[in-house]
Amino acid sequence: MDAEVIVVGAGPTGLMLAGELALAGVRVRVVERRDSPQRHSRALTLHPRSVEVLDQRGLADAFLVEGKPVPGWHFAGLPTRLDFAALDSRHGYTLFLAQARTERLLTEWVRDLGVPISRGSVVTGVSQDHGGVTVAVGDTELTAKYVVGCDGGRSVVRRAARIEFPGTDETLTGMLGDFAVVDASTLSRAESGGVLAVPLGDGTTRFVVVDPQRMRESSSTPVTLHEFRTSLLRSCGTDFGVAEPRWLSRFGNATRLAMRYRAGRVLLAGDAAHIHFPAAGQGLNAGLQDAVNLGWKLAAAVHGWAPDGLLDTYHDERHPVGAAVTANTEVQTLLLELTLVGQYERPATALRALLDDLLGIDVVNRRIAGAVSALDTRYGTSAEPLIGARMPDIALSSHASVYELLHGGSFLLLTMSGVGPATGEVAGWADRVVLGTASSGSHPALAGVTEVLVRPDGHVAWLSRDDRPVVERTNALMAWAGRQTERTDGRGQI
């Protein structure tokens, strides 16, 4: 086989997934239709949970050097901001960082892990049988055990697998433009006109505008400099002196969610699985988190130790997240559209004022901030609130932290009681589980907890409140980390 897994698409999702797989010892190959890395950036933000997962792999510092942390974010452009800083995370902020820079940093990581990236490789078809997949790339065919489509909203992989992509067609569009020349003294007028203006740090300024008189244009219609200036003038009373456009583009609110994230040996992640209006900048972030959820599960399937049904939990866990993201972006788009369409202006203004007032209530703000930031993402329905939720990044007795012990992409078995498992009780999982110790008083959510099993993606798989939970621990390890490996002394499994 040419690889054990072929990842189609070298955007942030595909690169993150390739890195996760390589970290787990999988032979992975990335194929990308573009000849060179993307120079332009649709997405500009990394939300708190995305920065956390980068931190879990030891990558966050490199991103923080290049990005700009901002303590809050918005919901539907309402004046009251979402307070990410009030959330339970060391990374309670939005990190402004152009997508092109995110891709560059992830590319460096992936190449350091030895992953080949084949650019200028156009995938034209995918087929599968009980033994593997065949990916048609131009006049050649590549074979692998699995293929993952990270190839965007028009995914060739998704269509080849005949996975339905239901949803709604585009009804509203906006424009974005990156300009080398602007009148900086006028930028304060952007927000009052409903326009987003963001310096990108490379000498250009990004403007995003939804003009009521142009919002029915198809996203396939090219944007002109004259149109952009006219829309800015109409919205804000100034065109901000924009000149020398580096990139002009139009984007729409088509919203779709794949019926399945897996069809046999074919899987989907990122925009191949879900598309929506870029409200609150959630698309790229959801894709990165898809990749981190899928990577270790797919590696387990490749290596043969995956417990029954583990790979199917990728759809079970991430599809509801995709549904939630598409739903909240539709709500935000509707609020925007009602405000822009004149005949609904007065009731829409009242509705926005009501919602803005609600955002001023701390518990409401935290609820919506938790959803947009993805910090409240929880898998499953256990009665234990921490199971399925993010593991807090607490300090450990070894002076490391939880995230530091997740850098290698292994499970983490954390002892909170001071008396850890005997070596022989966990030796059968030593190739995929690392051990750590901490104080049960290190975080309120861990009060009374004696042991915690943390998944490679940083979510809690199991916890115990017993002093010596030998049987329960063994069952949890087998349910999540698979069967034990054989002993080297030839006496079979532990």
For 80-139, how does the pLDDT look when each residue is reduced to its tens digit (9 = 90+)? 999 999 999 999 999 999 999 999 999 999 999 999 999 999 999 999 999 999 999 989
Question: Does the structure show a pLDDT above 80 at 342?
Answer: no
What pLDDT, on a 0 to 100 scale, did the predictor assign at position 375?
97
Mean pLDDT, residues 3-22 taken together: 98
Q: How far apart are CA 35 and CA 100, in angstroms?
A: 15
HEC profile for the chain? Answer: CCCCEEEECCCHHHHHHHHHHHHCCCCEEEEECCCCCCCCCCCCEECHHHHHHHHHCCCHHHHHHHCEEECEECCCCCCCCEEHHHCCCCCCCEEECCHHHHHHHHHHHHHHCCCCEEECCCEEEEEEECCEEEEEECCEEEEECEEEECCCCCCHHHHHCCCCCCEECCCCEEEEEEEEECCHHHHHHCHHHCCEEEECCCCCEEEEECCCCCCCCCCCCCCCHHHHHHHHHHHHCCCCCCEEEEEEEEEECCEEECCCCEECCEEECHHHCEECCCHHHCHHHHHHHHHHHHHHHHHHHHHCCCCCCCCCHHHHHHHHHHHHHHHHHHHHHHHHHHHHCHHHHHHHHHHHHHHHHHHCCHHHHHHHHHHHHCCCCCCCCCCCCCCCCECCCCECCCCCEHHHHCCCCCEEEEECCCCCCCHHHHHHHCCCEEEEECCHHHCHHHCCCCEEEECCCCEEEEEECCCCCHHHHHHHHHHHHCCCCECCCCCCEC
Mean pLDDT, residues 468-488 taken together: 88
- Burial grade of 127 (CB within 10 A; 0-12, 13-18, 19 or more): middle
For 183-201, how does the pLDDT look when each residue is reduced to its tens digit (9 = 90+)? 999 998 998 778 989 888 8
* In the chain, domain spans: 5-168+256-373, 173-252, 402-481
Q: Work out the mean pLDDT of the chain and round it to a whole number.
A: 93
Q: What is the CATH number of domain 173-252?
A: 3.30.70.2450
What pLDDT, on a 0 to 100 scale, did the predictor assign at position 40?
86
Question: Does the structure show a pLDDT above 70 at 230?
Answer: yes
Lowest-confidence range among 35-44, 284-293, 484-493?
484-493
Question: Does the structure show a pLDDT above 90 at 60?
Answer: yes
Domain 5-168+256-373 CATH class label: alpha beta
What pLDDT, on a 0 to 100 scale, did the predictor assign at position 268?
98
What pLDDT, on a 0 to 100 scale, did the predictor assign at position 343?
58
**CA distance to 171, 298, 340, 391, 413, per residue, from 486 (Å):** 58, 22, 65, 30, 20
Domain 402-481 CATH class label: alpha beta
Question: Does the structure show a pLDDT above 80 at 487?
Answer: no
Question: In angstroms, how far is CA 373 from the centroid of its own chain?
Answer: 10
Mean pLDDT, residues 441-453 taken together: 90
Question: Does the structure show a pLDDT above 70 at 492?
Answer: no
What pLDDT, on a 0 to 100 scale, did the predictor assign at position 491?
39
Question: Does the structure show a pLDDT above 80 at 493?
Answer: no
What pLDDT, on a 0 to 100 scale, did the predictor assign at position 490?
42
Under 8 Å between Cβ of 211 and 175: yes
